[in-house]
Structure 1
Amino acid sequence: MNESALREQICRFGASLFERGLTPGASGNISVRLSDGGWLVTPTNVSLGFLDPARLSRLDASGRLLSGDPPTKEIPLHAAIYESRKAAAVVHLHSTHAVAVSMLPEINPANALPPLTPYYVMRCGCTALVPYHRPGDPAVGDAIRGLGGRYSCVLLANHGSVLAGETLEAAVFAAEELEETAKLYLLLRGAAPRVLDSGQVSDLVEHFNLSPELCRM
């Protein structure tokens, strides 16, 4: 996909996420890695619902702004994902249920959500939780690097979700699935729900040829 088409795709997905209430106000950001190693990223203090393709921030491989508006303050977060995984796109949202789960005291940082549905396993695999840091703090990037590239889905405590994908579409779908799983978890909290067992998870991994790094819940 050429750069012009990617710009349009970022704006289209951004508007869809905003219109469905998955990231309010001027929160959230999206980036896509380009073939030359640079990125397209959404600008700072701009709603994902009202993006202009021509004003997206164009960065070089070192993160230097080449054109467009100043980029999101969350550049350290995106850079850490690209440095630690072979991702083509990153989506960071402040969706309500994912943020709520990130605040709960019982959450396992190495496996934040149980395998409630097959699509959570297929799109997200396993979700890490990293401690709270101020938005834009380089320490957020350090925390993600500390995961060693093992997770495509991360919750930032008291902040939001971060999803990496092989395409922008895959990252968006994973963000949506993570939010729905977080919603289910909150609805079922304390009810001892039936979750997928290890055999069912293994069957999904083998049948759909999922990544071998997938957490075996």
Structure 2
Amino acid sequence: MSAEAALREAICGFAKSLFERGLTSGASGNISARLPDGGLLVTPTGSSFRDLDPARLSRFDAAGTLVEGDRPTKEMALHGAFYETRPGRTGAVVHLHSTHSVALSLLPETDPENALPPLTAYAVMKLGKVKLLPYFRPGDPAMGDAVRGLAGKRSAVLLANHGPVVAGKDLEAAVYAMEELEETARLALLLRGCNPRLLTGAQIADVVTTFDVEWKD
């Protein structure tokens, strides 16, 4: 099996797993992944993660031209901004409408600069600081501008009233980080009003240093 064929199968396999576990529903969510030749494979617009066809994924060449497959997700500007601002560090981007992450984006007390409270070391390790961006209409190119405005300092963002977006070094890393984001958002909601014991500044610094985590303001 070629590298491209394997990546097509992996995208569809991860997408189906995310759908079956309730992390996305209907025709929501989108995934992109970098090919060895510099092109991209992208999930098509209006498609469900439940039953993606590997042969129908949108295929872009290294110049960003659609050369094969169905029409891509309308969130291409969002995906493209991560590849543009984090070259060499972004091999895949995952965007979901997962329930707990969306709920966290609606709460007025959510910190725009660090949307996830430091509840576990793994959230810090896999995500760094998660920026809460304002609401944009789905498909609005301004989402890409907002990500570019972060100058590559964040690998994960939470779109207000919309959902999370995570960039990873490869498809597996992006999916795993997205799962960590949703699980941490769920914990944060479960613990609301309980005055949970957060990681201390020293504990966060230890994780950041030990695992070379991006933790920039």
The residue that corresponds to 1:128 in the other structure is 131
Q: For each residue in 1:129-178, what CA deviation from the matched residue of structure 2 results, as whole angstroms up to 9, or x when unmatched?
A: 11111111100100111111111110001000000000111100111000
User: Counterpart amino acid of 1:60?
Assistant: D
TM-score calculated relative to the size of structure 2: 0.95
What count of residue pairs does the alignment treat as equivalent? 214
Residue 47 of structure 1 aligns with which residue? 48
Deviation readout 1:100-130 (Å, 9 max, x if unpaired): 0111111221111111011101111110011
Structure 2 equivalent of residue 210 of structure 1: 212
Structure 2 residue matching 1:77: 3-state secondary structure: helix
**Greater mean alpha carbon deviation, residues 11-20 or residues 33-42:** 33-42
Q: d(CA) in 2 for partners of 1:102 and 1:123?
A: 19
Say if 1:82 and 1:39 are closer, same or farther in 2 by CA, change over 3 A.
same
5+ residue gaps, structure 2: none
Does the residue aligned with 2:84 lie in a helix, a strand or coil? Answer: helix
Q: Which residue of 2 aligns with 1:31?
A: 32
Residue in structure 2 matched with residue 151 of structure 1 by the alignment: 154
Name which of structure 1's ranges 57-66 and 186-195 shifts more when overlaid on structure 2: 57-66
Structure 2 counterparts to residues 1-16 of structure 1, below 5 A: 2-16=3-17
Over aligned residue pairs, what C-alpha RMSD do you find?
1.3
The structure-2 alpha-carbon separation of the partners of 1:215 and 1:189, relative to structure 1 and needing over 3 Å to count, comes to farther
In the aligned structure 2, how far is the partner of 1:149 from the partner of 1:109?
17
Question: Residue 124 of structure 1 aligns to which amino acid in structure 2?
Answer: L
Tell me how far apart the structure 2 counterparts of residues 136 and 167 of structure 1 sit (CA, whole Å). Answer: 24
Q: Percent identity?
A: 64
Residue identity matched to 2:174: A
- In structure 2, distance between residues paired with 1:60 and 1:79: 13
Whole-angstrom CA distance in 2 between matches of 1:75 and 1:193: 38
Provide the TM-score with structure 1 as the length reference: 0.95
Aligned counterparts of 1:206 and 1:156: Cα–Cα separation in 2 = 28
SS at match of 2:46: coil
Q: State the distance in 2 between where 1:27 and 1:63 align.
A: 23
**1:101-180 equivalences in 2 (<5 Å):** 101-180=104-183
**What amino acid is aligned across from residue 112 of structure 1 in structure 2?**
A
2:212 corresponds to which letter in structure 1?
L
| 1:83 equivalent in structure 2 | 84
Q: Which residue number in structure 2 is paired with residue 193 of structure 1?
A: 196
- Mapped to 1, the partners of 2:206 and 2:134 lie a distance apart of 32
Q: Which runs of 5+ in 1 are unaligned?
A: none
Pair 1:65 & 2:71 matched: no
